[in-house]
Amino acid sequence: MYFHSIFACKYKKINMKRAALLLRCSTDSQDYDRQLRDLQPTAERMGYITEKDLIFGEYITGKDDVRKKDRDSIANLKLACKEGKVDAIFINEVSRLSRDSIAGRLFIREFNEDYRVPIFFRDLQQWTIDPISKNRNVYLEQMLGFYFDAASAELKSMKTRFASGKRKNARTGKSIGGVPSIGYTKDKDGTIIIDEENSKLIKIIFDKYLEKDGTITTVGRYLRGISNVRTWGTGTIGNILRNKAYTGKMEVFITNPDEIDQNKKVEKFITTIPVIIDEETFDKVQKKLDANRSAQEYTRTKVHLLQKLIVCSDCGKAFSTKTVNSGRNYTYCCVSKQNGINCNLSISLDADKTESIIWNLVKSKLLELNRLGISERQERIEKEKQQIQSYEEEITAIELAIEKIVRKRKNLIDYLEDAESDEEVEDIKARRKKYDNEISDSKNRINQIRDKIDICKSNITQHLNSSLTSDIISSIESNRNKMKTQIKEFIKKIVPYPIANSHSVLEVHTIFGLYYILYSSRDKDKQAYYLYGSYYKFFPKDNKFLVIGDMDEDLIEKNMQVSKFAQSLTINNMSIPREIKISGNNIGLSDAQKINRKYYQITDSTGVYTYDEMKEKCKKMNWILPFNI
């Protein structure tokens, strides 16, 4: 009898239907537990068993992004369905499945058609497939589409309300989320108030730093002796000394979900909070911090002109200097390499030679501007203004195109409702991906154009204000700190790419545009070679350049930028700007060649060049930067 009861119990459990529970939760663990308490008894009343390995849930908010991948809970649930482990799925509310109109519809269609697994929505008390007859609930499928639309609209509405609430809090001195700065706390209404104990430490930090021999290091040492609130590192203390919130003016940034323009999407507010440090004390500290920074640079044994300007092309970290040859020379190399962090870039740059090359680039540009007469400057300024107008018109056209694509994307919902086959569904997915890529590429193009507008504006400013004579430049060269300041005004960043045999390409981003510098520390002539303009693109994976422009024309004057010979070409009486057309950030050389194929029919000088071939052409054009200062 005993063995019979055990066998009957096991047999009953094996033959019971298995239910999967799909839980979607906010960061509140109580919400997770509540859904579990609601769904388990519901499933059991209908004759299903629920086991831990078939409970799928995670803490997540917002929309599903079907362009990337299913969230983990959905992916694991699909896998369990494929393996035949699930007889039915129980979900508490429609919004727990998805808050995206298209993603939700695709999920339902996939579970209905591919897995044939019924889904029970507890809030609607309905099945997508009848568990007994196995008939699909077509009416519910249509209704779910409306529920997904409503959930999507509610999500957007929630974001709008949250943003509105944050703005209100920012205007009334309340916290908009997160932990207040050290020295402050929140009352029960969320208003930022002074933390009496920790605010004393803030005052000590400012007072100790203003003492005659006070430094960030000495302040940290003092704090570690009187307080164990935190470790009091130099970074923490430096951030406190720079934090203007202690004067009662706290900057907060709020994302506006209703703003389409990405440049205006983040709004800045100044929130008034209680004062811990008066303005006068704060200003004194800022002056001392700035003075100490300058003094440190002057007292160094050597001022490094390119400090924090060189960025690793592999890990993105800054380059810093280190000594070589028993301290006689310096090189720039990636800080990740120096600190033992994984980085695949094997390149170091001779500091003296690299600094010399970059300085000569800056100096040649300064002298070029200074040589221009008043009429020539005015002519260039007018050209820059015309170019800005042309760029702005292009941005307007692209924005209109984006609006059309967005409308097409919304129409996919209607097409999805009418889709009858897997082929039609896959076509809708492909079209959505295509529209998303087009929108992304268009926005990238707008950002590129805005960068070019900034360059045009910088050029105008330089033409209006350039007054550096050769004598003044010689005076700057006698002081490395002044050279460093001048370089930072022109150079945004430098990205090095290694080539074989100690050769490298330096991608130099300047306020005038992009330069490529071909550099070898072993060059027998002690000179580097440069390219300037939007007619060149270097592809590091191939170690080759894509070039558009007639580099062999005899009419080009020495040291003149490429725009003198490659500004435009004419096809069928239509002027087309000659610049590399790149769609997307990670495009390869072969794809770029295809995009620019029309240029190859015009001139044999347009095409792909190796490092050595490009170097020879630069020599011929006299685009040269010597190593010496």
Q: What is the pLDDT of residues 292-344, one digit of tens each?
A: 654 444 444 578 889 889 999 888 888 888 887 766 788 898 887 666 677 88
Sign of CA pseudo-dihedral 551, 556, 557, 562: negative
What is residue 390's three-state secondary structure? helix
The pLDDT, as a whole number, for residue 8 is 42
The pLDDT, as a whole number, for residue 63 is 44
The pLDDT, as a whole number, for residue 130 is 92
Distance CA 55, CA 53 (A): 6
Long-range own/partner contacts, residues 317-325 (CB < 8 A, 24 or more apart): 317/341, 317/343, 319/349, 319/496, 321/351
pLDDT in tens, 430-448: 888 888 888 888 888 888 8
Decide if pLDDT at 9 tops 60: no
Highest mean pLDDT among 343-347, 468-472, 573-577, 586-590: 343-347
Tell me the C-alpha to C-alpha distance, in Å, between residue 611 and each of 352, 502, 534. 23, 12, 18
The pLDDT, as a whole number, for residue 263 is 60
> Residue 549's pLDDT band (boundaries 50, 70, 90)?
low
Decide if pLDDT at 582 tops 80: no
State the residue for tokens 């706290």: 250
> Residue 7's pLDDT band (boundaries 50, 70, 90)?
very low
Q: Which one has a higher pLDDT value, 116 or 258?
A: 116
> Residue 468's pLDDT band (boundaries 50, 70, 90)?
low
| Amino acid occupying residue 331 | T
Share of the chain above pLDDT 90, in %: 13
Q: What is the DSSP letter of 191?
A: B
Q: Based on the number of CB atoms within 10 Å of its own CB, is 132 exposed (0-12), middle (13-18) or buried (19 or more)?
A: exposed
The pLDDT, as a whole number, for residue 253 is 73
pLDDT in tens, 41-66: 999 999 999 888 898 875 444 444 33
The arithmetic mean of pLDDT across residues 137-143, rounded, is 83
Q: Are 64 and 100 in contact (CB under 8 A)?
A: yes
Buried-exposed string 152-166: b where 16+ CB fall within 10 A, e elsewhere: beebeeeeeeebeeb
Decide if pLDDT at 29 tops 80: no
| H or E stretch at 6 | helix 2-15
Is the whole model's pTM more than 0.85, yes or no? no
